[in-house]
Amino acid sequence: MSAKPSASSDTTVELPAAVRKRLQTLRNRYGRQRTDDAGHRMELAVNRRRLQLAEINQQIADLEQRARVIRSELQGFGKGMTLLAEETIAEYERAFPEAWSPSSVLGYRVWVINGNGLIGARQVWETPVLVAECAEFPDVDEVPHTDNRCGRLGCGVYATKELKPLLDLHVRERDRNYAAGLVAMEGKVVEHEDGYRAARAEVVSMALIGQHREVYTTDSTVIAAAFTSPDEAIDSQWSRSLREPVLEHIEAHLTERMEERWI
């Protein structure tokens, strides 16, 4: 396909019609003159340049076509690179099931209550926020680890995906002096079949079950007080007498808060 010159790049070289007509008349009448040779040579030069220009225009058209092909190829490469990157990400996620989520990942935990605080599976929680540390490799960043360097279970703050199996495993209906909570996990979060390990977890909703009284709350001030002195928190003016079935009340409170935070 030839390039089509625009009006601004018009390279037409022609004698004005009146001049050409007068010149031809005089040639016919008197024959050719000395200056006709120079004019002829100039006409030849014009024709050569017309041919050169046509060749260049064709080259330009060929280059433009090639440029269109290359642009199309680059778009294809871009799509291919994206697909390969997504496949690589998926491969990483299959091998190392972790995530850095812009929003919190929610899970459930239980604690034992004593007069000094709330005791988790491995340690006392002094505040509603717990930041994970690796006992085996305390100087290594990006806990929880996913390369089994710190054992089969691994480091991190643990939480389960489902509440009922957690309660069934650790709590009976007649048990007292424990707490169950909904935690928001942030930072590096490693997903497992039944739960998560996280770099950081914060309690956002709680059920405190004392010997005779209970507290259900999402108030951050009340939650903080429960970690400072759970017995006093349970016996305070905002607690109420224990109601049965206790486990159903816990499930109703925490799962409702879970649904509210996802909406």
Q: pLDDT by residue (tens digit) across 244-253?
A: 899 999 999 9
If asked whether residues 156 and 201 sit together in one domain, one would say yes
- In this structure, is residue 4 part of a structural domain? no
pLDDT, position 138: 75
Give the pLDDT band of residue 1 (cuts 50, 70, 90).
very low
pLDDT, position 86: 85
Q: Domain total for the chain?
A: 2
If asked whether residues 27 and 114 sit together in one domain, one would say no
Determine the distance from the C-alpha atom of residue 35 to the mean position of all C-alpha atoms in its chain, rounded to a whole number.
Answer: 79
How far is the C-alpha of 150 from the C-alpha of 144, rounded, in Å?
9
Give the pLDDT band of residue 115 (cuts 50, 70, 90).
confident
First to last CA, the chain: 59
Element containing residue 41 per DSSP (H, E): helix 34-95
- In this structure, is residue 1 part of a structural domain? no
**pLDDT of 10 higher than 70:** no
If asked whether residues 85 and 133 sit together in one domain, one would say no
Q: Which tokens is 138 given?
A: 């305390």
| CA-closest candidate to residue 216, choices 185, 246, 260 | 246
**pLDDT of 2 higher than 50:** no
- In this structure, is residue 150 part of a structural domain? yes
Q: What is the pTM of this model?
A: 0.62
Q: Which tokens is 104 given?
A: 């919190």
The last residue of a domain, from among 75, 95, 115: 95
* Stretch 118-142: mean pLDDT: 87
Q: Which tokens is 245 given?
A: 């079935």
- Percentage of the chain exceeding pLDDT 90: 46
If asked whether residues 237 and 112 sit together in one domain, one would say yes
What backbone phi and psi angles, to 5 degrees, belong to 136? -80, -35
If asked whether residues 233 and 245 sit together in one domain, one would say yes
pLDDT, position 119: 93
Domain residues for 104?
98-262
The last residue of a domain, from among 51, 68, 95: 95
CB atoms within 10 A of CB 214: 19
The last residue of a domain, from among 71, 95, 119: 95
Give the pLDDT band of residue 162 (cuts 50, 70, 90).
very high
* Stretch 4-11: mean pLDDT: 50
If asked whether residues 118 and 47 sit together in one domain, one would say no
- In this structure, is residue 246 part of a structural domain? yes
- In this structure, is residue 5 part of a structural domain? no
∠ CA 104-109-111, nearest 5°, is 140
How far is the C-alpha of 27 from the C-alpha of 174, rounded, in Å?
127
Beta strands 213-217 and 195-209, pairing class: antiparallel
If asked whether residues 164 and 207 sit together in one domain, one would say yes
- In this structure, is residue 194 part of a structural domain? yes
How far is the C-alpha of 211 from the C-alpha of 99, rounded, in Å?
39
The lowest-confidence range among 44-58, 87-101, 182-196 is 87-101
| CA-closest candidate to residue 247, choices 187, 170, 137, 172 | 172
